[in-house]
């Protein structure tokens, strides 16, 4: 198999957040950088993926230019001391390794919360960017559609996507559950530390509610709202925002509860109000539930949900790996056959040229009906002649020794000469 597909990855497994956030790319930067490496290195097919947890580049090239592309990425992000960052990158310079890594990332095996659908969806977006830029050719198209089909199998045949396997995702799932009978529910996300931001990421693709974000520092709320259909509220409006919200998801880091029974009695509750407290120590007071209409869920109850879902997902990993392995085998068969397809086309064109030349010599005095019959007969002969070489070439591909047979067929049928002759004509 040709070794044309390569990749590199900077992820939460290999780099701290302080490094990852320096290298992360916006949607506009993904497109711009893709075109940049096309110009710099002549890369025709590439997939650039960038999230809060990983920045990865997959590309096709006969040459091993991974280190150069990494350097180009770091330079693009304004990092001058590029050498010191190389330790954080995983490099996949063998096609088999790069393909397997993309399969595992795209199915959620390498997500911080295994089975998380966020990264597969982001990879779909990145693939669309590549297609829009005409940087997705036959190899990448085939690979991505094989991955998409594998993801469908994972969803249908395993429990790998079942349940909410992180507390932040469980909070979003619970929010959907308790608001399913509320028309256009209003959700307030209070506090934008690491957990609050994770909640925002998990809820961003949902469309079941109006989302408001609130943080002591408004700039942070504005930053997380970029590109999302979120409202922003100032912290000084806390009472009013709690009053209007149906669900309050709080992850405020504070020494004593921010939301108290006294505050809730002051605000007054006209309908059910759900408090999901992800803070440690807690930011919602124990006795808030004593106020009629207030229901409180804390991090322990959510963690129980998440732990059970995670246990089920982890138990499904062998099934997911089996599906990936089966898909990779099928993709590798196709990839190997790509190597011999030019030879097959040359042989077909050579035989077709001979057929047409011979027919031209003998059909001058035949009727249209006779000419049509001879045309069909000779085309059938060519197809039968082609059948054995094609089957043998494909079998050789699977054995891994197609190169020798390609050379024999090329020499036996003088395909290089035939191709050059056809080009001249």
Residues tagged active-site: 52
Q: How far apart are CA 207 and CA 273, in angstroms?
A: 20
Secondary structure of residue 383 in the 3-state scheme: helix
Residue with tokens 């779909």: 124
Residue 58 has a CB neighbour count (10 Å cut-off) of: 26
Q: What is the DSSP letter of 414?
A: T
Q: What is the DSSP letter of 423?
A: H
Residue 189's H or E segment, with its range, is: strand 186-190
For helices 167-178 and 299-362, the axis angle rounded to 10 degrees is 90
Residue with tokens 């089966």: 326
Q: How far apart are CA 367 and CA 371, in angstroms?
A: 6
C-beta separation of 311 from 287 below 8 A: no
The length of the chain, given as a count of residues = 425
Secondary structure of residue 142 in the 3-state scheme: helix
Q: How far apart are CA 330 and CA 397, in angstroms?
A: 12
Q: Which two tokens stand for residue 123?
A: 């990879």
Q: What is the DSSP letter of 278?
A: -
CB-based burial of residue 35 (10 Å sphere; 0-12 exposed, 13-18 middle, 19+ buried)? Answer: middle
Q: How far apart are CA 273 and CA 351, in angstroms?
A: 77
């Amino acid at each position: 198999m040709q070794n044309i597909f390569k990749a590199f990855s900077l992820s939460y497994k290999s780099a701290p957040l302080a490094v990852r956030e320096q290298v992360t790319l916006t949607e506009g930067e993904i497109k711009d950088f893709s075109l940049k490496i096309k110009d710099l290195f002549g890369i025709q097919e590439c997939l650039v993926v960038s999230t809060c947890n990983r920045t990865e580049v997959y590309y096709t090239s006969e040459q091993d230019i991974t280190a150069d592309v990494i350097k180009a990425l770091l330079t693009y992000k304004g990092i001058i001391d590029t050498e010191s960052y190389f330790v954080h990158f995983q490099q996949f310079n063998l096609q088999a390794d790069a393909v397997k890594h993309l399969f595992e990332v795209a199915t959620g095996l390498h997500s911080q919360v295994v089975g998380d659908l966020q990264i597969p969806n982001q990879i779909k977006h990145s693939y669309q960017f590549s297609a829009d830029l005409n940087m997705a050719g036959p190899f990448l198209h085939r690979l991505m559609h094989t991955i998409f089909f594998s993801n469908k199998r994972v969803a249908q045949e395993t429990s790998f996507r079942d349940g909410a396997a992180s507390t932040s995702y469980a909070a979003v799932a619970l929010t959907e559950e308790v608001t399913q009978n509320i028309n256009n529910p209003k959700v307030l996300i209070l506090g934008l530390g690491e957990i609050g931001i994770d909640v925002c990421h998990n809820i961003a693709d949902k469309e079941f509610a109006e989302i408001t974000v609130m943080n002591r520092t408004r700039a942070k709320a504005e930053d997380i709202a970029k590109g999302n259909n979120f409202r922003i509220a100032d912290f000084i409006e806390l009472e009013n925002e709690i009053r209007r919200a149906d669900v309050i998801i709080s992850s405020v880091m504070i020494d004593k509860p921010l939301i108290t029974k006294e505050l809730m009695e002051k605000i007054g509750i006209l309908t059910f109000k759900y408090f999901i407290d992800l803070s440690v120590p807690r930011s919602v007071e124990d006795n808030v539930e004593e106020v009629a209409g207030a229901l409180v869920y804390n991090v322990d109850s959510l963690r129980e949900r998440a732990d059970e879902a995670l246990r089920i997902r982890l138990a499904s990993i062998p099934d997911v790996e089996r599906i990936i392995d089966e898909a990779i085998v099928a993709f590798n068969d196709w990839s190997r056959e790509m190597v011999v397809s030019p030879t097959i086309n040359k042989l077909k064109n050579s035989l077709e040229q001979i057929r047409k030349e011979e027919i031209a010599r003998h059909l001058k005095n035949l009727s249209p009906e006779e000419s049509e019959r001879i045309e069909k007969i000779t085309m059938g002969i060519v197809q039968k002649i082609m059948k054995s070489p094609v089957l043998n070439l494909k079998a050789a591909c699977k054995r891994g020794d197609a190169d020798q047979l390609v050379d024999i067929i090329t020499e036996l049928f003088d395909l290089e000469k035939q191709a050059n002759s056809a080009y001249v004509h």
